[in-house]
Amino acid sequence: MTDPIDAHVRLDTHPIHPSAATAVLTGALARIALMALEAADWTVVAENVLVLARIDHEEPYWAQDAAKHLTSVGVTVEITPRLQEAIDEEWTWSNYPMPWCTRSEIREVSNEAQKIHDDIRHGQLLIHAHAHDGHTTVAVGTYLGRGGKSVYLHGEDHLRQVADTFNSPAPALLAFEKVHAAEMRPGPAPMTDTERAAVEARAVFDLTAAKPEPSRPEPETVPAYLADAGDHDALLDAFLDAHGDWERWRTWSDETTHAIHESQTLRIERVHETSAHETAWTVAAYETPVSDRMWVLTASAATPAPVLEDLLNHLADGEGWDTAIGAPVDENMVTAATQPLSKAGWKHTVDGRRIRWTSPAGDAGIQFDAFTTQHPSQNLATWTVWAGADPDRPAWTLTASPHTPSSLLADLSEILVHGTGTHSAQAGGRELRKKCAVTSPTGQTVTGSLAVSRRR
């Protein structure tokens, strides 16, 4: 038997969603238990607090499975009486469509459906389109790994299955459209009640005591590239509300919003919960709805609001999307893209394959990498827009591939030179919160708050 280690895990039912389970960790080696639970798809929601929320309602079974694995490596595990009661409960699905399956086989089917759900939630399976076939939801998507296999999905929640596979997205989309053209809609279907409940159960616990907010200083006016990021979700909402030629949908996990132009050749992906330096926005243009990308642009989560507003305004104008693949990125294109910088006297330097324009204060710049233009089909970052004290450790970045329209890049150059925004020392968003409670290993009730998304 493995010697015990200084790690204790208390497993309990969720305080708001009874089918879900929670784990509260203590001990000097609690990180060992945390890594093991994360590997089993438990979600960290606060320091040393994790939640297991599934779409097959099998959390008690998998909580017991986790307990066995943790115990085998020397972690002390405590299961509360109410969770143990849920583990021991014998139940079955009413009107299950495969009545010949045993309870164990039903669990296997449900677990495969859970894996599909998790792949979508984690962004590993991109859903291109969905439809309702008169009985249930069907969808077509592509795995970003696993050799890029495309799949036809049938069913919802614990009954979702892979009904067919394809080698690439194009034949998968064509086959899907052939059968479901009348009902076909872009992106994933709206979340089911079960999926929504799982998202709510995984919402973030804030276990810190509530403190009154200090008085906020008046924001100062600064160059656009030094402005606050503001509320990116509100910017996207306003853009989509004002432009009916764009359609919006959110992923099953509610972590990402996709927007697609009615032409289906220009798409926006907005990842909601990212750190300041991670990619939060991806804009991509296509020659046809099923072709490869012509160009792609990304922006990090800390990108200032004025810069994003300028980008969205350019997309709304509908100009310059159809930059032709194969057209060389020549000196004229570079000059057109950076003309506002040159006119404003930004410092122009050449360092090997890179050309850089830097603001007079040295706190922002645009860089052009000539090497990447030799590989246009790879959509490499040819252009990099940045701001911060050091270009090697920028506060935010925006990158663009070789065939990004020079008119779009010129607009971005213009906003960097002449645009302004506001900066506050205490910038940040607010969350609406519900009170909830988690029982600690000592039996004490820890009151916290459960974050509730205010986005649609």
Q: What are 278's strand-pairing partners?
A: none
First CA to last CA distance, the chain: 51
Residue in 23, 28, 62 with CA at minimum distance from that of residue 44? 23
- The pLDDT tens digits along the chain (456 residues) read 567 889 999 999 998 887 899 999 999 999 999 999 998 989 998 889 999 999 988 999 999 999 999 999 899 999 999 999 989 887 777 778 888 888 888 889 999 999 999 888 888 899 999 999 888 999 999 998 656 799 999 999 999 999 999 998 889 999 999 999 888 998 888 888 888 888 888 875 544 433 444 555 677 899 999 999 999 999 999 999 898 899 888 765 568 899 999 888 899 999 988 888 889 999 999 888 888 888 899 999 999 999 999 999 999 886 545 544 445 677 888 898 999 998 999 999 998 888 999 999 899 999 998 888 777 666 778 899 999 877 778 899 999 998 899 899 999 999 999 999 998 765 443 332 333 333 333 333 333 333 323 222
- Does an H or E element contain 87, and which? helix 81-88
Residue in 210, 205, 209, 213 with CA at minimum distance from that of residue 426? 213
Q: How far is CA 124 from the centre of its chain?
A: 11
CB 47 within 8 A of CB 207: yes
Residue in 126, 114, 125 with CA at minimum distance from that of residue 155? 114
Question: CA–CA distance from 380 to each of 144, 293, 314, 404 (Å)?
Answer: 17, 12, 22, 11
Residue in 275, 274, 267 with CA at minimum distance from that of residue 249? 267
CA–CA separation, 70 and 261 (whole Å): 49
Q: How far is CA 53 from the centre of its chain?
A: 18
CB 13 within 8 A of CB 80: yes
Residue in 93, 96, 150, 98 with CA at minimum distance from that of residue 119? 150
pLDDT at 71: 93
Q: Please report where in the chains the tokens 């991806």 appear, as a residue.
A: 282
Q: Find the length of the chain.
A: 456
Question: CA–CA distance from 316 to each of 235, 242, 262, 306, 322 (Å)?
Answer: 13, 9, 12, 15, 14
Helix, strand counts (H, E) of the chain:
10, 25
pLDDT at 301: 93
pTM over 0.75: no
Which amino acid, 276?
A
Helices 305-317, 232-242: crossing angle, 10 deg rounding:
20
Q: Is 323 helix (H, G, I), strand (E, B) or coil?
A: coil
CA–CA separation, 103 and 93 (whole Å): 9
CA–CA separation, 336 and 332 (whole Å): 6
76 is written with which tokens?
A: 């002390």
Contacting residues for 165 by C-beta, under 8 A, at least 6 apart: 149, 150, 151, 152
Q: Please report where in the chains the tokens 């614990």 appear, as a residue.
A: 158
pLDDT at 410: 93
Domains of the chain: 8-91+436-452 (3.30.70), 103-195 (no CATH), 220-423 (no CATH)
The 8 Å CB, 24+ separation contacts for 161-169 are: 161/109, 161/112, 161/113, 161/116, 162/116, 163/138, 168/142, 169/128, 169/142, 169/290
Residue in 205, 208, 212 with CA at minimum distance from that of residue 436? 205
CB 409 within 8 A of CB 382: no
